[in-house]
């Protein structure tokens, strides 16, 4: 008699009514399932609901009909906290969710139902203050999707695969692509049915680019429902917010148009200078929670000697991490970042009148995907003496390389902006937020790229930035780092530690709303007017 495996048993039980629910009640007794845990939310929920109900009773005017959507346990906890805070302000709030613990691995129906009943047991306690809807429990029947939505599902599935595998060339027959396409298409049908039947005034979704979060954004846009997306950077007490746009595109057009002609003062300039110094010294600064370098600066001359560089022009190519969310869909004229780097290396193989330094992003130490090191080694296993490959784990500070560079080459990394702040002419080939701001060189084709690069190598000093352009770069950096992130009390990372310092009552107090009130209104669709939005204090 054949032995039936554990997964096979779960597959059988997953198709039988009430088996997963009874197992969860009798065997797990309400405990989390593996990594899918909402225990922090469950702990704080009674006090949260009590504070929210008290605050809501003081609201005299009806609010908006608001729909929030999340997947994965950490985003579900965050949107739950946000949902309760909006309901406390008098809005009619619905939180819909998909109780997945993983985006990159399949899950059997039995375990998914267990995670679903666990999530429902906690989140249903938010009713009637917040209506909660499990999109596992309320799956929509099949309905045809528009051509634009089908294309959107394909694009998001590619992004998901790139983000997961940290590669750029995706095989649509691969296991991860098929998994992501199936889940994304299921989510699109369910979201489309629900939003059509229960049309809200505004949709709020974190990220808005990848996974089912990206699908929610596209479905809302297809129905012409106002949609806000939000994400977190490395600053505590701040978030990024975008209206009818993907926040990860970091579109600063309106911000820059409103403020580019206004000078920044000495205090603001000093803020930027202090932040840049912390980056160079590999130290934390104020409410920033990330180290940009693992090695403190050694000095330009010492670095130059260590690499054996001479007086030929030095070109610094700073890479991004393959598949990073800030590179997804950012092509201007290249097929991919990797293709651009390969073609650039090929160009320099025949240019021994210059020295190319390729600084592979230090963040690759933490990644699982293909390294730029592998791609370059495959292209040119034995690099000539004028091309230097700096691996992600090498004890070299990127800012020491910036100090000796004559020309910068970047895709979307902020190193391009920072080189411009020191007067180095930077060629930007990806669709990054600081492209076309007046202080970088921004080719729109390979022909123009090679033409510009060739001219710079002939006369590097001729392309050094003027004082006016350097000042423009510093001004932009201030607004990007200190104005573009808006005040927000609860960062996704260490959210509940933030909540201990800023509970619902304090955030929604008269004093708290002076700090955070505008951010809540922006999420709800009130126009983010950068001419009137408060500067960082």
Instruction: Specify the pTM.
Output: 0.89
Domain membership of residue 155 (yes or no) is: yes
Q: What is the pLDDT of residue 460?
A: 94
Q: Which two tokens stand for residue 457?
A: 């190598």
Do 15 and 58 fall within a single domain? yes
Do 453 and 510 fall within a single domain? no
Do 241 and 94 fall within a single domain? yes
- Kindly state the average pLDDT of the residues 452-459: 96
- Kindly state the average pLDDT of the residues 64-82: 97
Q: What is the pLDDT of residue 367?
A: 63
What is the DSSP pairing of strand 227-231 with strand 238-243? antiparallel
Do 249 and 355 fall within a single domain? no
Do 496 and 478 fall within a single domain? no
Using DSSP's 3-state secondary structure scheme, residue 161 falls into helix
Could you give the CA distance from residue 494 to residue 484 in angstroms, rounded to a whole number?
22
What is the DSSP pairing of strand 227-231 with strand 426-428? unpaired
Could you give the CA distance from residue 163 to residue 403 in angstroms, rounded to a whole number?
32
Q: What is the pLDDT of residues 386-408, one digit of tens each?
A: 999 998 888 888 888 998 999 99
Range of the domain at 181: 6-253+488-523
Task: Give how far Cα 88 sits from Cα of 40, 122, 152, Å.
Answer: 20, 19, 34
Which tops the pLDDT comparison, 376 or 214? 214
Is it the case that residue 271 has pLDDT exceeding 50?
A: yes
Q: What is the pLDDT of residue 207?
A: 95
Domain membership of residue 532 (yes or no) is: no
pLDDT > 90: percent of the chain: 69
Could you give the CA distance from residue 47 to residue 500 in angstroms, rounded to a whole number?
12
Domain membership of residue 528 (yes or no) is: no
Do 154 and 201 fall within a single domain? yes
Is it the case that residue 112 has pLDDT exceeding 60?
A: yes
Distance of CA 274 to the CA centre of its chain: 25
- Residue 23: pLDDT band by 50, 70, 90 thresholds? low
Do 68 and 195 fall within a single domain? yes
* Cα three-residue angle 43-46-48, rounded to 5 degrees: 95
Do 241 and 306 fall within a single domain? no
Domain membership of residue 317 (yes or no) is: yes
Which domain CATH number covers 408?
3.40.50.2000
Could you give the CA distance from residue 290 to residue 279 in angstroms, rounded to a whole number?
9
Do 342 and 455 fall within a single domain? yes
Q: What is the pLDDT of residues 414-438, one digit of tens each?
A: 999 999 999 999 999 999 999 999 9
Is it the case that residue 172 has pLDDT exceeding 80?
A: yes
Q: What is the pLDDT of residues 327-338, one digit of tens each?
A: 888 999 999 999
Q: What is the DSSP letter of 152?
A: H
Do 475 and 494 fall within a single domain? no
- Kindly state the average pLDDT of the residues 85-100: 97
Q: What is the pLDDT of residues 208-256, one digit of tens each?
A: 999 999 999 999 999 999 999 999 988 889 999 999 999 999 999 999 9
Q: What is the pLDDT of residue 505?
A: 95
Q: What is the pLDDT of residue 298?
A: 61
Q: Which two tokens stand for residue 120?
A: 């429902």
Domain membership of residue 95 (yes or no) is: yes
Token pair 């908006």 is at which residue? Answer: 64
How many domains are there within the chain? 2
Do 429 and 314 fall within a single domain? yes
Token pair 């929670």 is at which residue? Answer: 289
Helix ranges (H only) for 405-443 are: 415-421
Domain membership of residue 145 (yes or no) is: yes
Which tops the pLDDT comparison, 131 or 366? 131
- Kindly state the average pLDDT of the residues 40-61: 94
pLDDT > 70: percent of the chain: 88
Ranking 255-259, 273-277, 319-323, 469-473 by mean pLDDT, the lowest is 319-323
- Residue 29: pLDDT band by 50, 70, 90 thresholds? low
Q: What is the pLDDT of residue 365?
A: 65
Could you give the CA distance from residue 484 to residue 252 in angstroms, rounded to a whole number?
7
Is the bond leading into 128 cis (omega within 30 degrees of zero)? Answer: yes
- Residue 9: pLDDT band by 50, 70, 90 thresholds? very low
Q: What is the pLDDT of residue 314?
A: 96
Could you give the CA distance from residue 88 to residue 92 in angstroms, rounded to a whole number?
10
Q: What is the pLDDT of residues 118-128, one digit of tens each?
A: 999 999 999 99
Is it the case that residue 292 has pLDDT exceeding 70?
A: no
Do 214 and 66 fall within a single domain? yes
Is it the case that residue 161 has pLDDT exceeding 90?
A: yes
Is it the case that residue 535 has pLDDT exceeding 60?
A: no
Which domain CATH number covers 54?
3.40.50
Using DSSP's 3-state secondary structure scheme, residue 411 falls into coil
Q: Which two tokens stand for residue 62?
A: 């009806």
Q: What is the DSSP letter of 117?
A: H
- Residue 374: pLDDT band by 50, 70, 90 thresholds? confident
Q: Which two tokens stand for residue 58?
A: 């003081």
Q: What is the pLDDT of residue 396?
A: 83
Cα atoms in the Cβ-side hemisphere of radius 13 Å centred on 387: 22
Is it the case that residue 508 has pLDDT exceeding 50?
A: yes
């Amino acid at each position: 008699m054949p032995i039936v495996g554990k997964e096979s048993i779960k597959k059988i039980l997953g198709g039988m009514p009430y088996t997963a629910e009874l197992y969860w009640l009798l065997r797990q007794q309400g405990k989390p399932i593996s990594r899918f845990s909402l225990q922090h939310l469950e702990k704080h929920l009674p006090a949260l609901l009590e504070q929210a109900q008290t605050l809501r009773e003081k609201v005299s005017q009806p609010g908006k009909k608001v729909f929030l959507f999340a997947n994965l346990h950490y985003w579900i906890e965050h949107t739950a906290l946000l949902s309760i805070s909006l309901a406390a302000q008098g809005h009619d709030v619905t939180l819909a969710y998909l109780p997945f613990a993983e985006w990159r691995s399949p899950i059997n129906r039995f375990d998914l139902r267990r995670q679903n009943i666990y999530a429902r047991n906690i989140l249903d306690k938010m009713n009637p203050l917040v209506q909660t809807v499990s999109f596992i429990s309320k799956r929509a029947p099949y309905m045809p999707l528009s051509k634009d939505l089908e294309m959107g599902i394909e694009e998001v599935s590619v992004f998901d695969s790139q983000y997961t595998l940290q590669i750029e060339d995706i095989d649509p027959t691969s296991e991860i692509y098929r998994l992501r396409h199936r889940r994304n298409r299921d989510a699109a049908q369910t979201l489309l049915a629900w939003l059509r039947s229960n049309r809200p005034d505004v949709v709020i979704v974190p990220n808005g680019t990848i996974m089912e979060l990206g699908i929610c954004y596209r479905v809302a846009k297809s129905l012409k429902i106002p949609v806000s997306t939000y994400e977190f950077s490395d600053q505590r007490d701040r978030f990024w917010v975008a209206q009818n746009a993907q926040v990860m595109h970091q579109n600063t057009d309106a911000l820059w148009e409103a403020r580019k002609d206004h000078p920044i003062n000495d205090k603001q300039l000093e803020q930027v200078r202090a932040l840049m110094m912390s980056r160079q010294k590999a130290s934390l600064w104020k409410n920033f929670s990330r180290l940009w370098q693992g090695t403190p600066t050694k000095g330009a001359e010492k670095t130059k000697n260590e690499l054996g560089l001479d007086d030929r022009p030095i070109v610094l190519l700073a890479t991004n991490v393959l598949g990073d969310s800030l590179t997804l869909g950012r092509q201007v004229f290249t097929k991919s970042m990797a293709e651009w780097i390969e073609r650039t290396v090929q160009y320099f193989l025949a240019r021994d009148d210059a020295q190319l330094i390729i600084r592979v992003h230090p963040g690759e130490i933490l990644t699982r995907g293909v390294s730029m090191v592998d791609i370059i080694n495959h292209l040119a296993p034995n690099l000539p003496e004028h091309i230097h490959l700096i691996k992600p784990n090498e004890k070299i500070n990127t800012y020491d390389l910036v100090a000796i560079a004559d020309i910068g080459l970047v895709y979307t990394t902020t190193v391009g902006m920072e080189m411009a702040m020191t007067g180095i002419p930077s060629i930007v080939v990806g669709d990054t937020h600081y492209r076309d701001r007046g202080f970088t060189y921004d080719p729109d084709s390979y022909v123009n790229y090679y033409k510009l690069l060739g001219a710079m190598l002939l006369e590097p000093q001729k392309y050094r930035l003027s004082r006016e352009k350097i000042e423009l770069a510093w001004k932009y950096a201030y607004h990007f780092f200190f104005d573009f992130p808006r005040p927000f009390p609860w960062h996704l990372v260490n959210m509940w530690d933030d909540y201990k310092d800023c509970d619902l009552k304090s955030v929604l107090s008269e004093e708290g709303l002076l700090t955070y009130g505008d951010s809540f209104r922006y999420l709800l669709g009130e126009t983010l007017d950068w001419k009137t939005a408060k500067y960082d204090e």
